Structure 1
Amino acid sequence: MENRIKITLDYPPVWLAAFLVFAYLTRGVVGPLAQTEAVLALSFGLIGIGIGVMCIAAFTMWRHKTTFIPHRYPQRLVTQGIFRYSRNPIYLGDAFTLVGFSLLYGSIIGLLSVPVFMVVIERRFIRKEEKNLKGLFAQDYDLWAKKTRRWM
């Protein structure tokens, strides 16, 4: 029997990149968003918040010696820091980043695609990750899930 390495592109950054490209390609299709200084400031602010939240969450998981890479089993349940406010801050950061870039591109369709992105992420990643966490850390996970929202 041959050992084969399975290469998959089914990772959240790939989905985020696809939605970012979609937002870019659909800019102005429905009509452009006004690119005022306020909109540009908001877009850069949201991109910064998104990237910041992702980095803080990844660092928190690294500090607790567990993985933040999808399709891997975590070694620990992290409920401290940013994880007190969201069970999925990295995915939340992705959503903020998509909103920010959609505003920057002036893409109304990009903005409208954000809930679709969130559904894709929930179905492709979050449900499986929650099932794994519940299986590995049953009681602790249940307590955390009761007091901490999935997104925000």
Structure 2
Amino acid sequence: MNALELKIPPPVVALLLALAMWALVALGPALPWPEGIRRVVALVLALVGASFDFMGLVAFLRRHTTINPLRPANASALVTSGIYRVTRNPMYVGLVCFLTAWAVWLGAWLAFAGPVVFVLYITRFQIQPEERVLTTLFGDTYTAYTRRVRRWL
């Protein structure tokens, strides 16, 4: 199982799940929401997701640290300000919001498996390995941060 750790970029995981979600639409019951409401909810969720992603990216760029999720050992700074006071993984939260927006847009109950699978996969194969590396790099400072700020929300 460790062979999957830090191997697939999270946006690629999200894209693959989005395609799987699209394929699941025909297999299950539709959401009972009118199309107009679904579109508004999907748009709001997508905007929230974009905000989380943008704020996370800007915080990393301001601290001049790597944004490459496959190479957490290249981190030159521990980012704990801005959106990182709310969640330790805002860019992954953003991707969950996008996948949830897509599920709403698709209008099928089975599509909601996508965001759930994403959270489970990213937690196990991306976040936990990142946390091990960051603990090694930043020690007690990172450990204290993990006690103050939740992994997701």
Q: Normalising by structure 1, what TM-score?
A: 0.90
Moved more, 35-44 or 77-86: 35-44
| In 2: Cα distance, 1:50 partner to 1:68 partner | 17
| In 2: Cα distance, 1:31 partner to 1:13 partner | 27
Tell whether 2:140 aligns with 1:142. Answer: no
State the shift of 1:139 in Å: 1.1
Match of 1:24 among 19, 22, 34: 22
State the shift of 1:26 in Å: 1.2
Retained in 2: the 8 A contact 1:28–1:108? no
Could you tell me the percent identity over the aligned residues? 26
**Which residue of 1 is the match for residue 3 of structure 2?**
none
| In 1: Cα distance, 2:36 partner to 2:147 partner | 41
**Which residue of 2 is the match for residue 79 of structure 1?**
80
- 1:1-152 matched pairs, under 5 angstroms: 10-33=8-31, 34-72=33-71, 73=73, 74-152=75-153
State the shift of 1:9 in Å: 6.7
Moved more, 15-24 or 108-117: 108-117
Higher-helix-fraction structure: 2
State the shift of 1:30 in Å: 1.0
Question: After TM superposition, what 4+ stretches of structure 1 lie above 6 angstroms from structure 2?
Answer: none
Gaps of 5+ in 1: 1-7
Retained in 2: the 8 A contact 1:24–1:107? no
| In 2: Cα distance, 1:133 partner to 1:126 partner | 10
Deviations 1:9-58 (A, max 9, x none): 71101100011111111114211123432221011110111122111101
Aligned residue for 2:76, secondary structure, equals coil
**Which residue of 2 is the match for residue 5 of structure 1?**
none
Instruction: Specify the code of the residue in structure 2 equivalent to 1:58.
Output: L
Instruction: Specify the code of the residue in structure 2 equivalent to 1:59.
Output: V
| In 2: Cα distance, 1:100 partner to 1:77 partner | 30
CA RMSD of aligned residues (A): 1.5
Gaps of 5+ in 2: 1-5
